[in-house]
Amino acid sequence: MRIALIADAYPPMRSSGAVQLRDLSLEFARQGHEVTIMVASPELQEPWHIEDWNGVQVVRLKTPQTKDIDYVRRTIGEFLMPFAMLHNLRKSPLANQRWEGVVWYSPTIFLGPIVSALKKLSSCRSYLIIRDIFPEWAVDMGLMGRGLPYRFFKAIANYQYSVADVIGIQTPGNSTYFTQWQKQSSRKIEVLQNWLGDSQNQRCTISVNDTPLAGRKIFVYAGNMGIAQGVGILLDLAEQLKPRQDIGFLFVGRGSDAQRLRSDAKSRHLNNVIFNDEIDPDEIPALYAQCHIGLVALDPRHKTHNIPGKFLSYMQAGLPTLATINPGNDLEALINKQGVGRVCTDSSVATLQRQAEELINALSADPAISTRCKALSARLFTPELAVKQILSALQGKSEAQGSKKDV
C-alpha cells in the first residue's frame, strides 16, 4: 500500500513519539509498503524538504514553532501547523500524490485538517493512533477547568476524531471516551498496543561504574520528567532507601520538572541519586544493561489509561518494573497478570518502598522475571504487529488477530 504517515515528531528529535514513528515507518517499509512520513518542521528555511531514509520517504514541511515556547504561542502555532503543512505540501512534488491510506499520530490533536484534505483527495480510509486523551488529562491534572480553553481544545480533538475511520487506543479503558464517536456504524475503535523496534545498541555515554552508584542495584528512570509524570514520589522513595548502600537511583531525561527534581535531590543530600541529561535513544539498551529495575511514574490524578513508552523499553531489555500510577489504570492489571513487576496505586511511599525491596529480592529469588519481561515485549509490543493491525484496518478487514488480547 501507499501510506501517508503524518506527525509533528520524527528523528532527529529524541522524544518517545519520534522514536515510535521512526520504528513504525521503518516497519511499513520493511513489509514492502511505500510509506511517506510528513513531519512538521519549524527549523526549515525552505517550504519543504524531501529525503529518503532507510527506505522511508521523509517530507519535512515548514510550520510555525510549537516546541519549547509558552502555552499561548504553542497553541497558536499548533492551530496553524496543519494548514502550513498542507500549504507547503502543495508546493512540493507530492502535491497531487494519491494515497491508499492516511495514518496520523496524536499528540498533537491539531492534525485533522491536513488528514481530511489528503483523505478527500485520495478517497481512502484513515487511521488515528491516539496515545493520550487531551484535553481530558489536563482537566484531571488541574491544569485547566472546563471553561473556554477546554471547549476550544475539545472541539479541535473532536474534529480530528471525526475524520478518522478507525481509532487505535492504548488500552481498553480508554474506549469510554469514544462512546459517542462509535455510534456511526462506519467507525471503529480498537486497541493498538504501543510498540518499540530494536535499537542500534550503540555504546552508552553513561557509565554507572564511573559514578558513586557503582556496585549497587540500580533503579532507572529514563524519559520525560514533567507535570504528567509526578516523578517527585520517586525521590521520596530514594530518601527512604538512602540507608541501603546496595541500592541506587538513576534518572535520565529532560522535561519541565527536571531541574526542580535535581535541585530537590541536592537539597535532600540524596547521595544515592544521580541525574543525567537526555541521551540518544539508541544508547538506551546499553544504559539498561547496567541497570536492574525500571521505574514508571504517572501522576495519581490521571483518569485516562496509559502504557508509557519507557515501560516498553524496560520490557524489551528484560528489566522488571516498579510503577506508581493512577488507580484503575490498565497498566496495573498488565504488570500483575504477566508477573513483570510491582504496582503502587495508593501514592504511598511506604507501599512503594515495600514493593521496591520485594523487587530487589525477586532479582535473585525469581530469575525468570527477566525472561517474562522480554517475552511480553515480543508478544505484544512490536512494530510488526502494529503495522499489520493498521493495514488490516485501512483495508477494511476484520480486527487484526489478537489485538485485544493480554490487556
Parts of the chain with a pLDDT under 70: 228, 397-407
User: What is the 8-class DSSP label of residue 178?
Assistant: G
CA distances from 342 to 195, 294, 354, 360, 396 (A): 21, 11, 10, 11, 39
- Whether 272 contacts 213, CB under 8 Å: yes
Please report, for the chain, the start and end positions of each structural domain, with discontinuous segments joined by +: 2-197+382-394, 208-379
Exposed, middle or buried by CB within 10 Å (0-12, 13-18, 19+), for 251?
A: buried
Helix (H, G, I), strand (E, B) or coil at 65: coil
Lookup: cell for 1: 500500500
pLDDT at position 399: 44
Q: Cα dist. 243→247, 271, 360 in Å? A: 9, 10, 15
CATH superfamily of domain region 208-379:
Glycogen Phosphorylase B; (3.40.50.2000)
The pLDDT value given to residue 397 = 67
Which residues touch 118 (CB under 8 Å, ≥6 apart)? 4, 6, 99, 102
The CA-CA-CA angle for residues 400, 404, 406, to 5°, reads 125
Contacts of 183 (CB under 8 A, 6+ apart): none
* Grid cell for residue 225: 520528567
User: Phi/psi at 101 (nearest 5 deg)?
Assistant: -170, 140
Please state, as a whole number, how many other Cβ atoms lie within 10 Å of the Cβ of residue 172.
15
Dump pLDDT digits (tens) for 170-223: 888 888 889 889 888 788 999 999 999 887 778 999 999 999 999 999 999 998
CA distances from 335 to 320, 372, 375 (A): 9, 11, 13
For the beta sheet containing 34-40, the strands, ordered from the edge strand earlier in sequence to the opposite edge, are 48-53, 56-61, 34-40, 2-7, 101-106, 125-130, 166-169, 188-191
Task: Give the separation between CA 338 and CA 375, rounded to whole angstroms.
Answer: 10
The CATH code of the domain at 2-197+382-394 is: 3.40.50.2000
Interval 117-140: pLDDT, tens: 999 999 999 999 998 889 988 888
Beta-bridged to residue 341, according to DSSP, are 321
b vs e for 10-46, b when ≥16 Cβ sit within 10 Å of the residue's Cβ?
bbebebbbbbbbbbbbbbbbbeebebbbbbbbbeeee
Chain-centre distance for alpha carbon 169: 12
Do 208-379 and 2-197+382-394 fall under one CATH topology?
A: yes
pLDDT of residue 218: 98
**What angle, rounded to 10 degrees, do the helices at 16-30 and 383-394 form?**
70
What's the maximum distance between 2 C-alpha atoms anywhere in the chain?
65
pLDDT for position 400: 40
Under DSSP, is residue 252 helix (H, G, I), strand (E, B) or coil? strand
